[in-house]
Structure 1
Amino acid sequence: MSTITTTNPATGETIETYDLMSEAEALSRVEACHKAFLDWRMTSHAERATHLKNIAKALRDKADDLAELMTRETGKLLKDGKTEVQLCAAIFDYTAENGPDALADEERTHGDGKRGVVTYQPIGVIYSIQPWNFPIYQPVRVLAANLMAGNGCVLKHASICTGSGLALRDLCIEAGLPEDLFQVVLIDHDVSDELIAHDLIRGVTMTGSDGAGRHIGATAAKALKKTVLELGSNDAFLVLEDADIETAVKFSTMGRLYNNGQTCVSAKRFIVTDAVYDAFVDAYVAQMKQIEMGDPMEKATQLGPLSSQDQFETVRDQVRESVEKGATVLCGGEVPDRTGAYYPATVLADLKPGMPAYDDEIFGPVASIIRAKDDADAMRLANESRYGLGGGIFSRDEERALDLARRHFDTGMVRINNFGAADPNMPFGGVKDSGYGREHGGFGMKEFVNAKAIFLN
């Protein structure tokens, strides 16, 4: 493959074709980024913050254009794309406002009261490998944190949203960011592995599947490069015996269908206690049956297409295999006769280990219902997964739910009686096969810095 072609998943129409870069060209981008970093690292936190504020303003000014491009490339609802751009602007603002304090030198003591200083210094070029489901947000959460830390950034974006990655770079340059500090490379996996091993790449961060994470993590480890890996998940939302059914149904529907069901931290498994099983399932299926698929550009559309024909086939096959192994389809599950990568809102029940809908992440609008005997059994089933990114608890007893979330839920994030994807002020990341490292909440700014200890006499 010497080119990348982007396609509108709602219509099947070709958007654009791009030439892949040679290894030499990609490496020259890394070298240019490193050269820009050498100047950038000498700027103050306040200077960097001004640049970040300017990028935030540019994002808000271009929100409509960026949202439309993301919808054309990935099929996400236009209204969700606009929300995504606003979140990105908020991340740049948060980083600009909180970065100088988070990264400031710390005064400490050593020995018998002598002065010590801990300083957080940038390390160089960070290589960012990002997926297609949030074409602007995914690269932004790496870019904002590392620009504030004083690093440069090279982005390898998912091929299906190549235009979005290039548009983000253009926007940053127009907003005044030094041109070479943020690079976008259009390369294949082999060249990407060469970049990971390159001496001028000092850290690697990646969002994607656990399989891809194993490969990238191992490749980086061989080169002694630090990594942050935000991988897939099969998030469990627990409907406990005292859950408010209306609240649970509302946020379970939102949590499964947000971004057309293609969110790593969305609600995927619904573990429902016997006491409320029938009430929840009846109400939830009724709600999912009402979801209308349609043109993602239209304001009234509730569910757009999946991001590509490949993604559609993956989801379709995961549902088929689950049904062949005994799963029951409560709604959806039928491939519509229409142009585009559309898959309906689907609910599966009677699931057991060995089925894709039980064991694996389904990256589409497919909900897995799992029956639990009681609250303790629900918590056990939730933690049985090899994944641990997010999760949720529906319960009228908020303090008890908080205790379950704090002490027992083996995930990086837990939602209690609500659903949401990310917040600039709260850490984002997981455990187990969902990866390691954190972004947002001030944590991401310190993932790729040298926490340098200075001992004065």
Structure 2
Amino acid sequence: MPIATINPATGETLRTFAPIASEQVEAAISRSYLASRQLRDTTVEERGDWLDRVAALLEAERDDVARLVTTEMGKTYAAARAEVATCVSACRFYVTKAPAFLADEPAEAASVGAARAFVRYQPLGPVLAVMPWNFPLWQVLRFAAPALMAGNTGLLKHASNVPQTALYLADLFRRAGFPQGAFSTLLVGSDAVEAILRDPRVRAATVTGSERTGRAVAQIAGRELKKTVLELGGSDPFVVMPSADLDRAAEVATAARCRNNGQSCIAAKRFIVHTDVFEAFAERFAARMSALRVGDPMAQATDVGPLVSEGSRAEIASQVRDAVDQGATLRCGGELPAGEGWYYPPTVIADLTPRMRMWAEEVFGPVAGLYRVSSYGEAIEVANGTAFGLGANAWTRDPAEQERFVIDLEAGNVFVNGMTTSFPELPFGGVKNSGYGRELAAVGMREFCNTKTVWVGGDGTTGPVSAHAE
């Protein structure tokens, strides 16, 4: 894939970039390693001052940054502005919370024969981040904010279709005062990732993207014995039970399916509805999806902008056509619009069967599959019946049923009577083929820390005495 800005609303190539040379990659890794040694010697308060400046710059430049994001990947301007605001909030969250997250954790010293015993969190060093185009700011900041606050440095290999956003991010951290090399953007293709990850100075990697990308990076990192965090694809279930508030569920279902033009790993994609309320929900849902306005992502009235690429639109059209050809029923949408740009209408499709690609594949666009079930047990079977396990929604006003969903849904994130999303305050990640490890909250910051056990003896102590063999 060329490294280029191609406007999805028009298909026009606006700017192209040549990949940087191997010598430039080497220089960037060297600067990152040197900066990691420097950051280890700074205080969390100093790093917090720099990250607070990142937040201030983002806030001041919000409109221009949002316009750039919309131009590069097609999300609505309103959604891009909201993404910038989320990044600002996350930065300030870590400025406030990092001192507590990184503080030494005392242990029961007497029980281990020590004068003092505690856990200390220390940075690992340079971390390679392989990031996607769909949330080109938020995906990067939710890695970079905790990682840099912990004293690590970042090497960003961003998606090739958002190069200007990637360059902006590197400049942002530089202008905020972080040392040279603390955060670097590498304009390289995917073929350069292996050599970067194998470099001994690079200590870990984080990936948000496709299952294929995650497997490739994890395989390399495994051979090199390097820590990885993977946030991969999802085919999130949205289960609606008879006691649900159907009007509210249909409203949230529409937002959940079509946010970011339907291009989100944690967008609800499979709508699993109890037969007692199936038609009532389907009618409400299709009506709301049909009412969404598709068009210029910069226009204030637009609800759904273009898909990111012509290839992405072709893939979604193929998945829908496969289902219809095998007997699925369109409740709305499903027709490619005429004109320029890579638009696809909000679509609801029912009567899906396991023979159809949509039954098991992730659909990365504004297409909702409806699945009719006759019981709680069947709902769980369908919900868990994919290789993915990122997020899940359950809609029920029955407290006992709510608790059962929390236990039974195989997902890293379960939201009851609400839309799955990510918050700095809560850990985020998946299970099964959706990846492993967690971002955000305290655990996300500590993923790229050395959790160091410290045992200190008192006067005359020669060492711990334990009956446990190693």
Calculate the TM-score normalised by the size of structure 1. Answer: 0.97
Q: Distance in 2 between matches of 1:35 and 1:405?
A: 48
Q: Distance in 2 between matches of 1:215 and 1:422?
A: 25
Q: Write out aligned runs for 1:129-140 (5 A).
A: 129-140=130-141
Q: Could you say which residue in structure 1 is the equivalent of 2:314?
A: 313
Q: 1:404 aligned to 2:404?
A: yes
Q: Distance in 2 between matches of 1:29 and 1:324?
A: 51
Q: Write out aligned runs for 1:147-166 (5 A).
A: 147-166=148-167
Structure 1 SS opposite 2:203: strand
Q: Distance in 1 between matches of 2:396 and 2:248?
A: 9
| Residues 331 and 349 in structure 2, CA contact (< 8 A), matched pair in contact too | yes
Q: Could you say which residue in structure 1 is the equivalent of 2:341?
A: 340
Deviation at 1:290, TM superposition (A): 1.3
Q: Distance in 1 between matches of 2:315 and 2:96?
A: 42
| Residues 393 and 420 in structure 2, CA contact (< 8 A), matched pair in contact too | no
Letter in 2 for 1:173: R
| Residues 260 and 304 in structure 1, CA contact (< 8 A), matched pair in contact too | yes
Listed one character per residue, the Cα deviations across residues 100-132 of structure 1 (whole Å, up to 9, x for unaligned) are 101111222252353112111111100000000
Q: Write out aligned runs for 1:31-110 (5 A).
A: 31-108=30-107, 109=109
Letter in 2 for 1:297: M
Structure 1 SS opposite 2:268: coil
Q: Could you say which residue in structure 1 is the equivalent of 2:463?
A: none
Letter in 1 for 2:426: M
Letter in 1 for 2:78: K
Q: Could you say which residue in structure 1 is the equivalent of 2:460?
A: none
Q: Could you say which residue in structure 1 is the equivalent of 2:363?
A: 362
Letter in 1 for 2:79: D
Listed one character per residue, the Cα deviations across residues 2-54 of structure 1 (whole Å, up to 9, x for unaligned) are x5221000011222111101223212211111111111111111111111111
| Residues 393 and 401 in structure 1, CA contact (< 8 A), matched pair in contact too | no
| Residues 289 and 331 in structure 1, CA contact (< 8 A), matched pair in contact too | yes
Aligned CA distance change for structure 1 residues 295 and 401 (closer, same or farther; 3 Å): farther
Q: Write out aligned runs for 1:113-262 (5 A).
A: 113-262=114-263
Listed one character per residue, the Cα deviations across residues 399-425 of structure 1 (whole Å, up to 9, x for unaligned) are 334412331111011121121421111
Q: Write out aligned runs for 1:264-283 (5 A).
A: 264-283=265-284
Deviation at 1:330, TM superposition (A): 1.5
Structure 2 SS opposite 1:388: coil
Listed one character per residue, the Cα deviations across residues 425-445 of structure 1 (whole Å, up to 9, x for unaligned) are 111101000000111122110
Structure 1 SS opposite 2:271: strand
Q: Which has the larger radius of gyration?
A: 2
Q: Distance in 2 between matches of 1:275 and 1:233?
A: 27
Q: Distance in 1 between matches of 2:285 and 2:391?
A: 21
Structure 2 SS opposite 1:298: coil
Q: Distance in 1 between matches of 2:38 and 2:284?
A: 59
Q: 1:4 aligned to 2:3?
A: yes
Q: Distance in 2 between matches of 1:325 and 1:285?
A: 21
| Paired residues, number | 455
Q: Distance in 1 between matches of 2:402 and 2:43?
A: 40
Listed one character per residue, the Cα deviations across residues 174-222 of structure 1 (whole Å, up to 9, x for unaligned) are 1212231100001122211111111011001000111211111111111
Structure 1 SS opposite 2:85: helix
Listed one character per residue, the Cα deviations across residues 82-110 of structure 1 (whole Å, up to 9, x for unaligned) are 00000001111111111110111122225
Amino-acid identity (%): 40
Calculate the TM-score normalised by the size of structure 2. Answer: 0.95
Q: Give the unaligned 5+ runs of structure 2.
A: 458-470
Structure 1 SS opposite 2:75: coil
Q: Distance in 2 between matches of 1:220 and 1:78?
A: 37
Letter in 2 for 1:444: G
Q: Could you say which residue in structure 2 is the equivalent of 1:424?
A: 424
Structure 2 SS opposite 1:120: strand
| Residues 130 and 157 in structure 1, CA contact (< 8 A), matched pair in contact too | yes
Q: Could you say which residue in structure 2 is the equivalent of 1:415?
A: 415
| Residues 306 and 342 in structure 1, CA contact (< 8 A), matched pair in contact too | yes
Structure 1 SS opposite 2:276: helix
Q: Distance in 2 between matches of 1:129 and 1:428?
A: 17
Q: Distance in 2 between matches of 1:175 and 1:456?
A: 39
| Residues 392 and 420 in structure 2, CA contact (< 8 A), matched pair in contact too | no
| Residues 52 and 92 in structure 1, CA contact (< 8 A), matched pair in contact too | yes
Deviation at 1:384, TM superposition (A): 1.3
Q: Distance in 2 between matches of 1:179 and 1:281?
A: 54
Letter in 2 for 1:40: L
Q: Distance in 2 between matches of 1:163 and 1:402?
A: 44
Q: Could you say which residue in structure 1 is the equivalent of 2:451?
A: 451
Q: Distance in 1 between matches of 2:294 and 2:401?
A: 34
Q: Could you say which residue in structure 1 is the equivalent of 2:15?
A: 16
| Residues 427 and 438 in structure 2, CA contact (< 8 A), matched pair in contact too | yes
Letter in 1 for 2:345: P
Structure 1 SS opposite 2:161: helix
Q: Distance in 2 between matches of 1:20 and 1:449?
A: 31
Q: 1:380 aligned to 2:381?
A: yes
Aligned CA distance change for structure 1 residues 262 and 401 (closer, same or farther; 3 Å): farther
Q: Distance in 2 between matches of 1:228 and 1:188?
A: 21
Q: Give the unaligned 5+ runs of structure 1.
A: none
Q: Distance in 2 between matches of 1:48 and 1:375?
A: 49
